[in-house]
Chains A and B, each alone.
Chain A
Amino acid sequence: MDTISVKHLKKFYRVYQKEPGLTGSLKSLFNRRYQDVKAVNDISFSIKEGELVGFIGPNGAGKTTTLKVLSGLLHPTNGKISVLGFTPFDRKPQFQKQFSLVMGQKNQLWWDLPPLDSFILNKEIYEIPESQFQHTLKDLVDMLDLKEIIKVQVRKLSLGQRMKCELVSALLHSPKVLFLDEPTIGLDVVMQKKIRDFIKGYNQKYQATIILTSHYMDDVKELCRRVIIIDKGQIFFDGSLDEIIKKHADHKTLQVTFDQPVAKKDFGPYQSIKITSFDFPKATFKVKRRLTNQAAAKLLQNFPVADINITEPRIEDIIREVFTGRDLS
């Protein structure tokens, strides 16, 4: 059985629109124009035990809404959702003890207390036996290198330290399912990497099923074999990262450095080679994937090339192209 299964999930919000200014406010007292926002509009997917899946999409795509529905915070407008065999919105304690939600933008640690106090509170709430608690805590604190700070007031911690502590408090009850909503937001690259390594380690060590949303492609690239891309409340793509590259990146990039002057127009006769930037002595060209070798050979033969570098387009660029209107047939 799938750990997570979502069938035809829809979540609509009703919002009202107000004209700007005082007149707008007065008008809206008597007459309101409502609008349905289709945050999630008919999505379906399923996830197996131990999978680590990346959710990507622009702001407002419906990623967080989906995670909130899966966590039982939001009541779906329509659709059948099952997580670990439970319907999330019933919020059964047996379900809640087996999953965790971490939101990079919201904190659940008590602001004025040291993290350890919040951890102990969670121990009571989740009814974690003392020995298991000590063991898990030690494990997590070692993995994240937190020994020095768990007794310092949360308000005095840095964002990175706080995020690590948020993770600890979310993992103390050893959840089988973990929803991470932008866990690396606002962190520097070093800290991002640490959090990433930790998530990977946790996934492997405990066979936890994890859904991760992030705006940082590095997170997704390093962690997730499978990604689900959503935009405007619908799924655009569900599969492996390699597949997106194969499917949507039909070109490669050639970065060339010349050792003698060449002019832009010299490349005119070569139809298969498109110039994307030209700044002597460096230039980059876009070439159809299957013509890459041919094109590189031509460049080497006919131009004073000092150095040539063939690269796959960056995953960020592919995704951006996907979102800025190229259709995904």
Chain B
Amino acid sequence: MEFRWHFILQNLISLLWAVISLLVFIFIYRHVSVVNGWTLESILLLTAVFFFVDRLFDSFFFTNFYNLTTIVNSGDLDYVLTKPLSSQFLVSLRYFSFSTVFSNLSMLILIGYLLQRYFSPVSWWQIISFIFLIVCGLMIIYSLWFMTLLPVFWWGRVDNLHYLFSPLYQLCRIPIDITGPFFKAFFTYLIPLGFVATIPVKAVLGHISFGLLFYGFTISLVLIYLSHLTWRFSLRHYGSASS
């Protein structure tokens, strides 16, 4: 927060991204009223949730992910590895950034407004499962994205590696159930990107089963564990740049 203009601009840019996306849907929905069960209000809710999760992810992980590819190459990972703490924890959560806090708050307000205006009443159970699933979604995104960074141990200098997952991640902003039964199953069970926005939104609207909730929890733990295993494996290939 040292640099005021950086902070202001960061929030503006981030907000603008969200606003444009929301507007796009508003324009599209002038011509249709419902897409495979998704009305304008629910699609706006989905977009707001996506941007909310996205900013949370940015604040906690993205800076660190960018940093990881750098320190593997520079050899600065050395001191992380000698510390008696989980090295994965240290590289993933070393820095966090408040820079989009306003943009994030506005998404939260929008979510609250949409729910209250169009979807009330919302039960406590729906809200709790919504929050719970968002946490699962963050864990899923974290693990998948983290694993796409690990080739850095083999490939060396790859400045764009932390963007590798980005295109896939953008899929999260559309409702996965409009992609057809095959992809819907794929994004729910195999590469569970649905848990980032679509499934939490369905949960808050009261449309999901307890089984899916349980699956989301299980798969996020499995993926976290998998990211841990792959991290440990990749470290064998750490070259620790010469000093």
Interface residues of A (CB under 8 A from B): 13, 64, 68, 71-75, 89, 91, 93-94, 96-97, 99-101, 103, 105-106, 108, 125-127, 181
Contact = CB atoms under 8 A, between A and B. Distances in A.
Given A64-B242, A64-B243, A105-B243, A73 B78 contact: yes
A96 B87 CA distance: 12
B76 A106 contact: yes
Contacts of A71: 78, 81-82
A101 B243 CA distance: 13
B78 A68 contact: yes
B46 to A, nearest CB: 40
Given A68-B78, A101-B78, A106-B75, A96 B243 contact: no
Nearest to A93: B84
Contacts of B242: 64
A117 B232 CA distance: 30
A97 B243 contact: no
B151 interface: no
B239 interface: yes
Nearest to A122: B83
20 contacts: A64-B243, A68-B78, A73-B77, A73-B81, A73-B238, A74-B238, A74-B239, A75-B235, A75-B237, A91-B87, A94-B84, A96-B84, A101-B79, A101-B82, A105-B243, A106-B75, A125-B83, A125-B85, A126-B84, A181-B243
**B82, B83, B85 interface centre (most CB from chain A within 10 Å):** B82
Interface residues of B, number: 19
Given A64-B243, A68-B240, A75-B238, A91 B79 contact: no
B78 A106 contact: yes
A99 B81 CA distance: 12
A278 B83 CA distance: 57
Interface of B: 75-79, 81-85, 87, 235-240, 242-243
A127 B84 CA distance: 9
B79 A108 contact: yes
Contacts of A126: 83-84
Given A73-B81, A125-B83, 4 more contacts: A71-B82, A72-B82, A89-B236, A101-B79
B78 A103 contact: yes
Contacts of A74: 238-240
Nearest to B75: A106
Given A91-B87, A106-B75, A106-B76, A73 B243 contact: no
Nearest to B83: A125
Closest 6 pairs between A and B when the two form their complex, measured CB to CB:
A96-B84, A93-B84, A75-B236, A108-B79, A105-B243, A97-B84
A72 B237 CA distance: 12
Nearest to A74: B240
Contacts of B83: 96, 125-126
B70 to A, nearest CB: 14
Contacts of A64: 242-243
Contacts of A73: 77-78, 81-82, 238, 240
